Chains A and B, each alone.
Chain A
């Protein structure tokens, strides 16, 4: 007849501690392995869904917003009369502040050759309001569009802009494809 072996308190505590420690280590190991193999996700704007509601400028936890206007140069018409640069009914097609659409003058208009102009975004000044994007889309080729800049974004668990975006244009995408750029500008750069 087998003798029932009684655990004393010390053995019980020692065994319990070993099991707890083992389970914890196993858990950490599994978590680390999962994290190492899982792809990281980041927030990004789908420019084809974006309606330029202005909330990227007003609702981002960063000030100024981590959303910036980007320019797909291969789509741009390099127009003299740029709908993204000049406000409706501008007095003259020149760089006077009264003619500019951007509330922070974040777009530089640079002469190339008659009658073509290049438009360059100054990201330091851009607040991501999307006003130029709307003008470009309405009256131009839609080469200006908004993107979340990942060097500025905190990648919050719940994006404050995504929460209020009326067109559900912001979602998490794999960090390996962190930008949704219009045109084939990025492909051209890579090639």
Chain B
């Protein structure tokens, strides 16, 4: 073989080798590979009929560099707690009060006389100037407080860690507890697979408690006796999905429920008897596999959603045409 022919052969071999390396590199590039043959796909359940969406997002308030955990709306102010703080923010986002907490606040409840913060294992009561009035700890180490509600001067404290609701006076005197079990065995009791255990008192002085493991919302009297419940399990928009939903609830002035779900994050409105009425925000509005926003309602039935992933308070108002 001539010298020229040998050179051409060597160059051709080098070109082929480089070509193989490039093809192999491109083939193994994460962006250029085919789809996942084992993909877990719930896209079809994320689609929401636009005619069901009766709300639009009208405003949001950025929370900055804090880690929020819970929220309440009371008389035009936003009460928000989280990693070592409890803040009161005006409706336009101006901070009115900032209380430092030694531990993380999980939930907050504001009333005329006081602000109550639920830490993981402690209840703190402040006046509206931020002065600590009272505090106490439930008796067990496995307590995980997730929600607070007041009915007839009884403070109800949801303890997800022990699947029970504790009852106290606002001075911290223990009045009893209940686990949601009924004599007729209609419901098993509270099933709390994850730390989402919310409750709310509506305008008609009814205490409603979420039983997330049963996809149910249950009505109790102040003694802790089950009065009624409804449940709805489905991947479709009509029901609740996953292990434990709804994660958060609020109530409108007519007694309808605002529900917030984890997993496939969505906010919906249900009638008091459990029929889906409308959708506030479809899954596309939230981060995929995000955290269920805390939801609260003001006196005008405006829905506030605390978006933990985007660190925003998002305001949803009913569309004028609805």
Contacts and interface: CB of A to CB of B under 8 A. Distances in A.
* Chains A and B belong together in one complex: yes
A131 B40 contact: yes
Contacts of B233: 81
Contacts of A174: none
A79 B213 CA distance: 7
- Interface majority SS on A: helix, strand, loop or mixed? loop
Contact of A129 (B38, B42, B236): B38
Interface string A162-191: 011110000000000000000000000000
Given A81-B242, A114-B188, A164-B28, A88 B213 contact: no
A138 B41 CA distance: 11
Interface in A99-152: 101, 103, 114-115, 129-131, 134-135, 137-141
Contacts of B213: 77, 79-80, 115
A134 B38 CA distance: 10
Contacts of B41: 88
B235 A89 contact: yes
User: Chain B contact residues: over half helix, strand or loop, or mixed?
Assistant: loop
Interface residues of A, number: 33
B201 interface: no
Contacts of B188: 114-115
A54 B36 contact: yes
A127 to B, nearest CB: 8
B241 interface: yes
A52 interface: yes
Nearest to B195: A141
A53 interface: yes
B244 A54 contact: no
A81 B40 contact: no
A138 B244 contact: no
B42 A88 contact: yes
Contacts of A53: 30, 36
Nearest to B27: A164
B206 to A, nearest CB: 26
A52 B37 CA distance: 11
A140 B30 contact: no
8 contacts: A79-B243, A88-B45, A88-B241, A115-B213, A131-B40, A138-B42, A138-B242, A139-B264
